[in-house]
Amino acid sequence: MSAKTLMVMGTASDVGKTIVVAGLCRAFARAGIRVAPFKSQNMSNNAAVCEGGEIGRAQAVQAEASGLEPTVDMNPVLLKPESENGCQVIIRGRARFRMGINDHARYRAEAWPEILTSYRNLAEKFDLVIIEGAGGAAEINLRHRDIVNWAVAEMADAPVLLVADIDKGGVFASLVGTFELLSVSERRRLRGFLINKFRGTRALLDDGIRMLEERTGVPVVGVLPYVGNLRIPDEDSARLDGAPLSRTLRPVAVGVVRFPRISNYTDVAPLEHEPDVAVHFISDPDSAPKLDLLILPGSKSTIADLRWLRQSGWEDYIVNHLRGGGWLVGICGGFQMLGLRILDPRKIESDAVESPGLGLLEVETFFEGEKITSLVEGVELSSGLPVSGYEIHAGRVTNLGSQPLHRLTSRDGRAIGEVEGAVSSDGRIIGTSVHGLFDNGGFRRHFIDAVRKAKGLGPLEAASVQDERLAREREYDRFADIIETHADLAQIAAWARVAWNGANKRVGYSQRP
């Protein structure tokens, strides 16, 4: 193994580890260093498809920031929560088993060798591997079965950078508390603190930083400002928890049902960036504003979330929404809910052998043990516009009479000729198993303009359509610039034992062959 290493841990979940790793990957990559991201274990229902199966969305984002295609080596273990006490275990891209609260011995025995293999694969190919930890760095109740934080730091002999979120409050207490709970050997690995999401003048922190450094002996290597409207996909749905409804008033109002087991909600992120669209994530239909479009997103447990949907009053809301001329889109699990019934005779997803759907599209879903994970390309039939995206689902949807949405022309690079999805007779109810549909700028604008036309509004200018991939590339550079400006990247590089001479700043930097 030849790669140098750097590990980014946090004082807690949702402090910005993922975006810091993405920014560091971008900064080092555009400086000419062959860099790759790595996270041994991710827990998220936001997944991405790559060659070999599925990985956490965060590592796909970090790979893109590095100028790489994502691989299963970058995230060898993905845990997809299905309930409070259980999750599906994805190892090297494929579902292995369902883990309950008493299955950790088996889990570690199966996961750790694959983690070692994946890390070694990356270490042989790259100059630098930037490792992301999970949760908090001082999870003392989990230390004996750790396979994502200090066990990985020791395995990779990695120096550690600890990130804390000052926007949450209590940043100095969280840093000191984390430090105090670390073992002697863990403290030796800890090289520096990075304070994230600061609003204000840096001088306001000087006294606190001085006392922090005196107490711990660990330097603060940077204070990153709060960055709003960063167009980089989130790792998971943590930001949705307790989030208030958007107060933005725009011509097109979109509601996204916040399922308890929501997955791949980043499908709607491109709509959030449209200038004429306001997106609201909503759990309670009674709190929903007047909507033009309602989206049922993906779900890790379709049948359980369909039951919740009915119990919460959403079914009645949908009926009234459609009667009032509203539009409805179901994606993956949401698409399955729109059909006539969901069949699960082998009880792959739940204890219900059969569940009635909402009956809004003439399709039915049959669950099978093998999950489909594929990259697809095709054409949206009503417009002839090209589309691309990815599939992650165990439920096979059969169209029993609805008009199809797409004609798929390619799956994982192989030519095919399949119809996919379903559309109601009036065109206002749409279902698809393809994630990432709204990433396609032409289709996204065509669809929004159809909603606008139904409201009596004219189409938007075609020139305003933004390419999502190019927009993300600009954001990677933007955050890398912020890290270079507000953190001592030369010192961070020295800890990682790589040379740092500043970045050759290029939008869309690529390490791809």
Q: Which residues are catalytic?
A: 332, 435
Report the C-alpha dihedral over residues 135, 136, 142, 146, rounded to 10 degrees: 70
Looking from the CA of 339 toward its CB, the CA atoms found within 13 Å total 31
User: What b-and-e string marks burial along 308-323, b requiring 16 or more CB atoms within 10 Å of the CB?
Assistant: bbeebebeebbeebbe
Residue spans of alpha helices (H) in 190-287: 206-216, 269-272
Q: How many residues does the chain have?
A: 513
Q: What is the C-alpha to C-alpha distance for residues 466 and 93, in angstroms, rounded to an integer?
A: 31
Q: What is the C-alpha to C-alpha distance for residues 241 and 244, in angstroms, rounded to an integer?
A: 9
Region for residue 387 given its phi and psi (left: phi exceeds 0; alpha: psi -120 to 50; beta: otherwise): beta
Q: What is the C-alpha to C-alpha distance for residues 495 and 504, in angstroms, rounded to an integer?
A: 21
* 233 DSSP assignment: -
* 360 DSSP assignment: S
Q: What is the C-alpha to C-alpha distance for residues 113 and 193, in angstroms, rounded to an integer?
A: 31
Tally Cβ neighbours within 10 Å of residue 473. 20
* Cα separations in angstroms, 172 against 72, 168, 184, 205, 230: 36, 11, 20, 10, 25
**Secondary structure of residue 422 in the 3-state scheme:** strand
Say if CB 242 and CB 281 are below 8 A apart: no
Q: What is the C-alpha to C-alpha distance for residues 74 and 54, in angstroms, rounded to an integer?
A: 11
- Tell me, rounded to whole angstroms, the distance of Cα 316 from its chain centroid: 31
Residue spans of alpha helices (H) in 132-242: 150-156, 171-181, 184-189, 206-216
* Cα separations in angstroms, 97 against 54, 75, 180, 436: 15, 17, 37, 27
The letter for the amino acid at 115 is: I
Q: Is the dihedral of CA 180, 186, 188, 190 positive or negative?
A: negative
278 token code pair: 């306001």
